[in-house]
Amino acid sequence: MTAPDAGRGIGNGEERGSLFEQGLPRDSFRILHVSTGNVCRSPITERLTRHALADRLGDPLWGGLIVESAGTWGHEGAAMEANAETVLAEFGADPSGFTGRELLDEHVIRADLVLTATRDHRAQVISMGHSAGLRTFTLKEFTRLVRAIDTATLPPLEDGVIARARALVRAAAALRGWLLAPTAEADEVYDPYGAPLPFFRSIGDEIHQALDPVVTALTGVPAKT
């Protein structure tokens, strides 16, 4: 399926902010992906998330879900790494229009869910304050917690994807102290910056596999086969 996110979904890019002027619902749920430079891991995660949501829900605005990214040492205004663009294209996701940005307080304040590439990124987000602890996870940590949640206890999609997303974050936060990672490395997505394309592909596969159960839980719709 061709994703309807090209030039229409919300994330990093030229359109950022403009959709608020085009009638974006005030009631929204923001997902913020965080890595270091915001040119490799978090752009891949942002655009794969947007692509998966469009694939499951069909609506280019996904019922109020907003997907963004930033970097703790973000390359403000930088283009996505070419290998990251290639990986996204291979998944059928749209890499166009992306510009990197540095993580700011306002991004954390507005985010309803922050998913980071590593534990260090998670710690940096939480250290910024803004009561971010209960809504900030590494991507793989959140995936592990989501797999343990009985999605039948979440609001049905008929109640709106925003209500379901908020309930999912609360449930994951409640499980965090009880469901620990088997190893410290299990929650890490390693940085492919400067690496050859095969390593980017392996990181893209990791991110794609981690996102699948998250998007399924958020939407109540499994991936198409």
**Strand, coil or helix: what is 102?**
strand
Is the pLDDT assigned to residue 21 strictly greater than 80?
no
At 149-187, the pLDDT tens digits run: 999 999 998 898 999 999 999 999 999 988 888 888 899
Amino acid at 158: E
**Burial tier of 156 (Cβ tally within 10 Å: 0-12, 13-18, 19+):** exposed
pLDDT in tens, 42-80: 999 999 999 999 999 887 556 799 999 999 998 999 999
Tell me how far apart the alpha carbons of residues 208 and 219 are, in angstroms, rounded to a whole number: 16
Distance CA 163, CA 126 (A): 24
Q: Which residues pair with 113 in a beta bridge?
A: 31
This prediction has a pTM of: 0.88
Interaxial angle between packed helices 197-219 and 161-175, expressed in degrees from 0 to 180 and rounded to the nearest 10: 110
pLDDT at position 11 is 45
What is the pLDDT averaged over residues 24-32?
A: 79
89-143 pLDDT per residue, tens:
999 999 999 999 999 999 999 999 999 999 999 999 999 999 999 999 999 999 9
Q: How far apart are CA 62 and CA 66, in angstroms?
A: 8
What pLDDT score does 5 carry? Answer: 36
Q: Which of 105, 138, 104, 131 is nearest to 33 (CA)?
A: 138
- Mean pLDDT taken over the chain: 88
On whether the CB atoms of residues 88 and 144 are closer than 8 A, the answer is no
Per DSSP, which regions of the chain are E strands?
Answer: 29-35, 65-71, 113-116, 136-138
pLDDT, mean of residues 28-55: 97
